Structure 1
Amino acid sequence: MSSKSICSPSESSSSTKSWIVHGIVAGAAIAVAVGARAYLGRSKNFRSRVVGIIPARFASSRFEGKPLVNILGKPMIQRTWERSKLATTLDHLVVATDDEKIAECCQQFGADVIMTSESCRNGTERCNEALQKLEKKYDIVVNIQGDEPLIEPEIIDGVVKALQAAPDAVFSTAVTSLKPEDAFDPNRVKCVVDNHGYAIYFSRGLIPYNKSGKVNPQFPYLLHLGIQVLYPVSYYSS
């Protein structure tokens, strides 16, 4: 597959404003905070090394071969990779896949590829396996979904910086305004944050829920964006 583009090189990214939220798993906040402080004591460059991993598989149950679908002359995975490369906080960017066709395609347009097993049940497991195979160790792992060809580099940088600034958080993610027409779509994950910007709940149902069961047009509902930025505690303790 050729990496030559047949479309205009100019691209416009969404102007949707996104908020960065920190994620602390209920009941695990103490363990996360202790682990972060312990690592901080070993390094002056706390959370300074960042790797972006794009998990991609061919055999999707909902859309087989989705990473290779052509979008204006380029495969989707290439557009996701090119947008992600514009993020200034990433020290390294790789594609993690179990499919030779995807691997060959990515190598042709210049991406680093790590082959993973077919047993990975989701993108998180694929990222974790790829992380173990990297020669260098990283302080932060950015899980970038392979079907985000219009991902904003500023969102990647924002969630990375949010995690770097919050030593008591184990991961960070991003949310944006939820459109009223998507309120009851179970494929749109909703999020609730506290007054300090920390995520406290995620749901496929509408949250917060009110007695009427209807959308309150005056309430700023939030939509969760798929990007996740993690502090790989288990990686360093293994």
Structure 2
Amino acid sequence: MSVLIAIPARYASSRYPGKPLVELRGATGASLSLIERSWRAACEVGGVDRVVVATDDERIRAACEAFGAEVVMTSPDCANGTERCAEAHEKLGGGFEIVVNLQGDAPLTPHWFIEDLIAGLRGAPQAEIATPVLRCDGETLNGFLNDRKAGRVGGTTAVFDAMNQAMYFSKEVIPFTSRTYGDAEETPVFHHVGVYAYRPDALASYPSWPTGPLEQLEGLEQLRFMENGRAVLCVEVEARGRQFWELNNPQDVSKIETMMSQMGLV
């Protein structure tokens, strides 16, 4: 079953313009751009046939080609990463049986998250899209809550049913819990990891579906599947001692650099 990883990247981020080209220092002090670190993370995933960066920006294209990435130029009119992945897959001639969207702001995504995601979609023939979820420990949950108190959008959380079908995704912390958790304590909150695996028919149809009020309010592209009656499979993944965070705000740069240093990531 052929697999494509597409990394959507745009320069004109509303929260953090130029984000893909932001430099991040690793454990040895080596500085690489966010998009290069995300591309390197994609290249570590086993069982993948092709990795491309999908962008509409010549600055990102030049930077990616300089470190050896294959680039597919897409329209500036793509509303989100899923639409950009759909266009990239079409421009490559289609033919892949699974398309993975590894967003360009997630350089700490370990390869087994994506490998488990692909395996989860393969094992659920009725599913058209799958996405990973990671149970929060107390430290991560408190980080989410602190971001919201400070008026920042941090991680996205997910709730799902007994069949692992998504019930909702939100930039608020859901479900509500009044408890205080220790840093290493397990919580009932799941962090949505911003990676998606699509079957090509659903991906190709996505840009033609109407954008619903929930997608508009939350700014979460996966809600378009749910608002148009398509099930989203949540695949629980294990941290295995690895810290995970996405670069959503400028304040996240130092946080991710600290994590890379603590984990010894170059």
TM-score by length of 1: 0.72
1:191 to 144, 154, 158: 158
2:162 aligned partner, one-letter code: N
2:85 aligned partner, one-letter code: C
SS of the residue corresponding to residue 126 of structure 1 reads helix
SS of the residue corresponding to residue 193 of structure 2 reads strand
Structure 1 197/78 Cα, relative in aligned 2: closer, same or farther at 3 Å? same
Q: CA deviation at 1:56?
A: 0.5
1:51 aligned partner, one-letter code: L
Q: Which runs of 5+ in 1 are unaligned?
A: 1-47
2:38 to 80, 88, 96: 80
Partner of 1:181: 142
Q: CA deviation at 1:191?
A: 1.1
1:221 aligned partner, one-letter code: V
Highest CA radius of gyration, 1 or 2?
A: 1
Q: CA deviation at 1:133?
A: 0.1
Q: CA deviation at 1:193?
A: 2.3
SS of the residue corresponding to residue 221 of structure 1 reads strand
Partner of 1:18: none
Partner of 2:221: none
SS of the residue corresponding to residue 79 of structure 1 reads helix
Structure 1 135/60 Cα, relative in aligned 2: closer, same or farther at 3 Å? same
Q: Would the aligned equivalents of 1:180 and 1:215 in 2 still touch at CA under 8 Å? A: no
1:166 aligned partner, one-letter code: A
Partner of 2:48: 90
TM-score by length of 2: 0.65
Q: CA deviation at 1:209?
A: 3.5
2:3 to 50, 73, 77: 50
Q: Give distance in 2, aligned partners of 1:180 and 1:58.
A: 29
1:68 to 15, 21, 26: 21
Structure 1 235/169 Cα, relative in aligned 2: closer, same or farther at 3 Å? closer
Q: Which runs of 5+ in 2 are unaligned?
A: 26-30, 206-266
Q: CA deviation at 1:136?
A: 4.4
Q: Spell out, residue by residue over 1:147-168, the C-alpha distance to the aligned partner (whole angstroms, 9 max, x if none).
A: 1122111111110110001001
Partner of 1:230: 198
Q: Spell out, residue by residue over 1:128-147, the C-alpha distance to the aligned partner (whole angstroms, 9 max, x if none).
A: 11111003411111010101
Q: Give distance in 2, aligned partners of 1:177 and 1:235.
A: 27
Partner of 1:163: 121
Structure 1 202/111 Cα, relative in aligned 2: closer, same or farther at 3 Å? same
1:209 aligned partner, one-letter code: F
Alignment length, in residue pairs?
188
1:138 to 93, 96, 117: 96
Query: Any residues of structure 2 matched to 1:101-120 within 5 Å, and which?
Result: 101-120=59-78
Q: Give distance in 1, aligned partners of 2:32 and 2:121.
A: 32
Q: CA deviation at 1:196?
A: 3.2
Give the helix-richer structure, 1 or 2: 2
Point out the more displaced range, 144-153 or 192-201: 192-201
